[in-house]
Amino acid sequence: MTLTDLLILGQGVDLASERGVSCDGALPPHSDPALVERAIAAKNSLGSRAMILGHHYQRDEVIQFADITGDSFKLAQAAASNPDAELVFFCGVHFMAESADILTTPHQKVILPDLAAGCSMADMATFTAVSDCWKVLEKLGVATRTVPITYMNSSAAIKAFTGEHGGTVCTSSNAQRALTWAFEKAEKILFLPDQHLGRNTAVLQLGISLDECVVWNPWKPNGGLTDDEIKSAKVILWRGHCSVHGRFSVENISDIRSRVPGVSVLVHPECQHAVVSQSDLVGSTEFIIRTIENSPAGSKWAIGTELNLVQRLANTHKDKEIYFLDKTVCYCSTMNRIDLPHLVWAMESAASGRVVNQISVESSVAHHAKVALERMLALP
């Protein structure tokens, strides 16, 4: 991803639209079906040496070959709990493969089928920018009273920064526990890199006021904040967001409720605060799946999360009415870089004795990142 891309994303512009990519709510067409037989053959030849992990937001053509599906942390845990798998094909994005490499044994090799599969949110918090922010907190004398928490959707370098400075990692399902833990240790939290998850958790689950949450803009001196704003804040939110979830709007909710009487709105906590506040239910990817699975036949749902998952739920639960909350929002373009051609290439290469696209986190970074991840695992 280029600097221009990062600047566009940092300003909240839809990068797909800027490039002329269609955002009509349609998924990309399937890749060459002839590759299915090759994928089966390659997977069979690797046997128990290999494990394929598929994130919920992946294409169906990839998910069909996944041994385990789940969110980013569930998949990293799955890799760590299966040390016999020498080759871990992580069908997700870069930060997920990094976490898997950190948690697996040294003899295991984590493979990302397409190295271009990144995460715009994770890219919004660089190690240099976060270190510069921390220096300001130190200058103001508040760093010792601040605990950094980073969302799972962050680079290994940011996880390492968090671990080295007494903080932890969180997922969308345990963010409340992570923030509660942090406030037992300190007065302030620096929440990275998703401002929406941090704000929604602090305000809606912990009862912190919006006035006590400030946004640190890494593109501006002092984060765009006054010294007094930083000193009085309880939660300092990094100016990052998910380019998919951040686009759902209050207007989307009003529109779907006017068109579908009796619909329930179910969204991910990466959505904007106003959207979450006006939804019926909010929760992690796993929560969204469980909610639909346990809902009665005939129930109506408008879901605000990535398009691949919503369409998969609609296809699986045909006894329910399931709608994508906003048809103008694209699928996650970087997640969708992992397709069947890349997976087949990676598996066939491994079967021939050549490991491609191995993700390997430098040892000193991995050490501190693992400290942060283990703190999360130890949360009550």
Cβ 140 vs Cβ 225: under 8 Å: no
Q: Which of 25-39, 117-131, 277-291, 293-307 has the lowest mean pLDDT?
A: 25-39
Reduce the secondary structure of the chain to three states and give it as a string.
Answer: CCHHHHHHHHCCCCHHHHCCCCCCCCCCCCCCCCHHHHHHHHHHHHHHHEEEEEECCCCHHHHCCCCEEECHHHHHHHHHCCCCCCEEEEECCHHHHHHHHHHCCCCCEEECCCCCCCCHHHHCCCHHHHHHHHHHHHHCCCHHHEEEEEECCCCHHHHHHHHHCCCEEECCCCHHHHHHHHHHHCCEEEEECCHHHHHHHHHHHCCCCHHHEEEECCCCHHHHCCHHHHHHCCEEEECCCCCCHHHCCHHHHHHHHHHCCCCEEEECCCCCHHHHHCCCEECCHHHHHHHHHHCCCCCEEEEECCHHHHHHHHHHCCCCEEEECCCCCCCCCCHHHCCHHHHHHHHHHHHCCCCCCEECCCHHHHHHHHHHHHHHHCCC
Task: Please tell me the distance from the alpha carbon of residue 101 to that of residue 321, in angstroms, as a whole number.
Answer: 39
Q: Which of 53, 25, 77 is nearest to 306 (CA)?
A: 25
Longest dimension (CA), the chain: 63
Position 352 in a domain: yes
Position 191 in a domain: yes
pLDDT at 34: 79
Give residue 242's pLDDT band: very low, low, confident or very high (50, 70, 90).
Answer: very high
Residue 113 shares a structural domain with residue 194: no
Position 234 in a domain: yes
pLDDT at 24: 52
Query: Which of 195, 214, 240 corresponds to the end of one domain?
Result: 240
Q: Which of 272, 239, 7, 10 is nearest to 133 (CA)?
A: 239
pLDDT over 50 at 4, yes or no: no
pLDDT over 80 at 369, yes or no: yes
pLDDT of 286-342, one tens digit each?
A: 999 999 999 999 999 999 998 889 999 999 999 999 999 987 766 777 788 899 999
pLDDT at 377: 86
Among residues of the chain, what percentage have pLDDT more than 70?
A: 91
Residue 224 shares a structural domain with residue 313: no
Query: Which of 216, 240, 264 corresponds to the end of one domain?
Result: 240
Block residue for tokens 């294409």: 59
Residue 265 shares a structural domain with residue 212: no
Please state whether the peptide bond connecting residue 193 to the residue before it is cis, i.e. omega within 30 degrees of 0. yes
pLDDT at 174: 92
C-alpha torsion sign, points 255, 260, 261, 263: negative
Give residue 9's pLDDT band: very low, low, confident or very high (50, 70, 90).
Answer: very low
Tell me the average pLDDT across 26-33.
66
pLDDT over 90 at 12, yes or no: no
Residue 151 shares a structural domain with residue 213: yes
Among residues of the chain, what percentage have pLDDT more than 90?
A: 78
Give residue 10's pLDDT band: very low, low, confident or very high (50, 70, 90).
Answer: very low
Position 373 in a domain: no
pLDDT over 80 at 23, yes or no: no
Average pLDDT of every residue of the chain:
90
pLDDT at 327: 72
Domain that holds residue 300: 245-324
* pTM strictly above 0.85: yes
pLDDT over 80 at 2, yes or no: no
Position 347 in a domain: yes
CATH number at residue 227: 3.40.50
pLDDT of 62-90, one tens digit each?
A: 999 999 999 887 888 888 889 999 999 99
Crossing angle of helices 94-103 and 72-80, in 10° steps, is 30
pLDDT at 324: 93
Count of structural domains within the chain: 3
pLDDT of 245-297, one tens digit each?
A: 998 999 999 999 999 999 999 999 999 999 999 999 999 999 999 999 999 99
Residue 153 shares a structural domain with residue 192: yes
Give residue 29's pLDDT band: very low, low, confident or very high (50, 70, 90).
Answer: low
Contacts 24+ apart (CB under 8 A), 25-34: 25/307, 25/324, 25/326, 25/327, 25/328, 25/329, 27/59, 27/307, 27/308, 27/311, 27/331, 28/59, 28/331, 28/336, 30/59, 30/60, 30/61, 30/340, 31/61, 31/339, 31/340, 31/341, 32/340, 32/341
The two structure tokens encoding residue 148: 């950094």
pLDDT at 6: 27
Residue 236 shares a structural domain with residue 249: no
CATH number at residue 301: 3.40.50.10800
Residue 315 shares a structural domain with residue 338: no
Task: Please tell me the distance from the alpha carbon of residue 100 to that of residue 81, in angstroms, as a whole number.
Answer: 11
pLDDT over 90 at 16, yes or no: no
Tell me the average pLDDT across 115-131.
95
Residue 137 shares a structural domain with residue 221: yes
pLDDT at 249: 95
pLDDT at 26: 61
Query: Which of 240, 272, 305 corresponds to the end of one domain?
Result: 240
Length of the chain: 380
Position 370 in a domain: no
- Residue type for position 126: T
pLDDT of 142-187, one tens digit each?
A: 999 999 999 999 999 999 999 999 999 999 989 999 999 999 999 9
Residue 265 shares a structural domain with residue 221: no
Residue 266 shares a structural domain with residue 176: no
pLDDT at 48: 93
Position 96 in a domain: yes
Position 265 in a domain: yes
> In Å, how far from its chain's centre is CA 332?
11
**Number of neighbours of residue 206 by Cβ within 10 angstroms:** 15
Residue 135 shares a structural domain with residue 208: yes
The two structure tokens encoding residue 50: 């290999």
Residue 307 shares a structural domain with residue 215: no
